[in-house]
Structure 1
Amino acid sequence: MQSISGINSGAAKPYVPIADVDEPKKVQRPEDETQLRHQKPVMDEYVPEEKPEPTGRYRLGKDEDGKPKIYFDDPKRAEDTPDVSDSSGRDKSAKGPERSGSDKEGQSCTCNTDKVDREIEKLKKQKQELEQQINRETDESKIEDLKAKLAQIEKELSQKDNDTYRRQHAVYTYA
């Protein structure tokens, strides 16, 4: 094994000037240019942008509270027409239920899912009755028909017995 101090890698060589070549000259800037740079600080400048023409597209933005909001550029709305949004930032021409937590005027929204719940209960009752009929039936052809009906009801029940279906088919009332 050889010691590290005995290895001459040649990586660190002393500076040896080359014959007939002058040393590199130091570049200096004229005093005028350096003085101008110190006298005049560079500042950002606000350049107001022209309002773009409405394109009929949705875009994502933020409201005054910093929460995400979807905006719509309506090409049919004239430039001189005032904005249709109310103080809560919600566009009054937009359709769909409004969340009760976002009401600033004291209005409230109630969601009623009774009709959907009754429909689901009816399907569950039909499923239970069909299962009982299948257990009592002795004729194989009738059992197959009942099993086909049961499969159809189970499929419909799986589609309707979830929160998404309840929200889509709920009745919203505003007070």
Structure 2
Amino acid sequence: MPKQVTAQERSDEELLIAMKSGDRSAFVAIYERYWRKLHAESFKRLKNMQQIEELVQDIFSDLWLKRDSKEILNLRNYLMMCTRYQVFAIYRKEKSNPDFEEPMENMAFYSVNADSRLNEKDMKSCIDIWLKQQPTKRGEIFRLKYREDMSTKEIGEVLNISQKTVQNQLVTSYNSLREFMKKMTTILSSAAW
């Protein structure tokens, strides 16, 4: 008789499918797998335990309540993006400037929703094309930040440059990538019609 796979042993994709069909144990497994990560991600930026706990609770409540309408391709990325967006929303609501060591962190990097003409694969391809067009150092900083999930301080230490230089390069990258993605979205959208 084959061994039963527990919810904790299932992949994110399997858990998402089960959760969409109303399986509470799958939702609990997702919560157990990710709540600490979201808490840590929020803490890096907020430092207010009450806000952090509410933020994490809101993200998971939304995930469960809207499970039927969400089209999630990558659960970890989706939850991290939600966390960063919620942190940004808190700062916007309080009309204060984020007290981050990393100014890029208060910006949603990009938004993917069910209506988007670009799927995750297209976006990754577009980002890869954009990266090839960047100066070597800027591309390396971007890769370390967004693919290796390093802080600006860590990147500065690895590349032997100041944290301020890293931050400036990330702001330049963000603006350049945003413009590039707008153009690519337009091109891909018109090609789809």
TM-score under structure 1 normalisation? 0.22
**Bigger Rg, structure 1 or 2:** 1
